[in-house]
Amino acid sequence: MDRHISLPLSDADALSLKAGDYVYLTGELYTARDAAHKRMYDALNEGKELPVDIKGQVVYYLGPTPARPGHVIGSAGPTTSSRMDKYAPRLLDLGLKGMVGKGKRTQEVIDAVVRNGAVYFAAVGGAGALLSKCIKKAEVVAYDDLGTEAIRRLQVENLPVIVVIDSAGTNLYATAADKWRK
């Protein structure tokens, strides 16, 4: 089913999304990938505050190319989510509502998605030029020294994603190939 969803993601919208839904996201989300996740995780372990309030937010696993002059951002497709699996359950338990990336997640992440009524979306890997067109505003909000890995706040319009893991724990990757396997 095609859905248009506003960000930040409401609890009701998160619960209503089903694995396989084709979704256009509009609103604000944050980028973070390996280095930013490690830093957030270390901060939590040291009892410090996170640099952004992730409650109710969606994180996009993205490290863009630099913006050309006059552009908002460079190429901006998803990176492989599994490298964030170590950190994701903790962030979900702190209120993170959604993740956009690509590729498989561990059972621990799936359990945390279910426990928190959250959603895991996949964007099309390797379509960074196309996806950059959906990004209307980008600003670094934390960890500027990490360059491409800094945390950015993005304003997106109709960012196309697919629900892979829904709040009931249904995992599209686990079943998608069955229909086409020979």
Partner 1 sequence: MRNIDVSEITAAVREMCIEVNHKLSPDMVGKLTDAREREESPLGRQILGQLIENMDIAREEMIPICQDTGMAVIFLEVGQDVHFTGGDIEDAVNQGVREGYTEGYLRKSVVRDPIDRVNTGDNTPAVIHYSIVHGEGVKITLAPKGFGSENMSRLFMLKPAQGIEGVKEAVIAAVADAGPNACPPMVVGVGVGGTFEKCALLAKKALTRNVNERSKIPYVAELEKELLEKINCLGLGPGGLGGRMTALNVAVETYPTHIAGLPVAVNICCHVNRHISREI
Residues that bind partner 1 (CB under 8 A): 22, 35, 62-68, 71, 74-77, 79-80, 82, 102-104, 122, 124-133, 146-149, 160, 162, 172-173, 176-182
Give min distance, CB of 106 to partner 1, in A: 12
- Count, residues in the chain: 182
For partner 1, give the closer residue by CB, 17 or 162. 162
For partner 1, give the closer residue by CB, 126 or 169. 126
For partner 1, give the closer residue by CB, 90 or 104. 104
What is the distance between the alpha carbons of residues 2 and 8, in angstroms, rounded to a whole number? Answer: 18
For partner 1, give the closer residue by CB, 94 or 176. 176
Give min distance, CB of 54 to partner 1, in A: 22
The percent helix, strand, coil of the chain (3-state, each to 5) is: 30, 30, 40
Count Cβ atoms within 10 A of the Cβ of residue 14 and give its class: 0-12 exposed, 13-18 middle, 19 or more buried: buried
What is the distance between the alpha carbons of residues 78 and 107, in angstroms, rounded to a whole number? Answer: 21
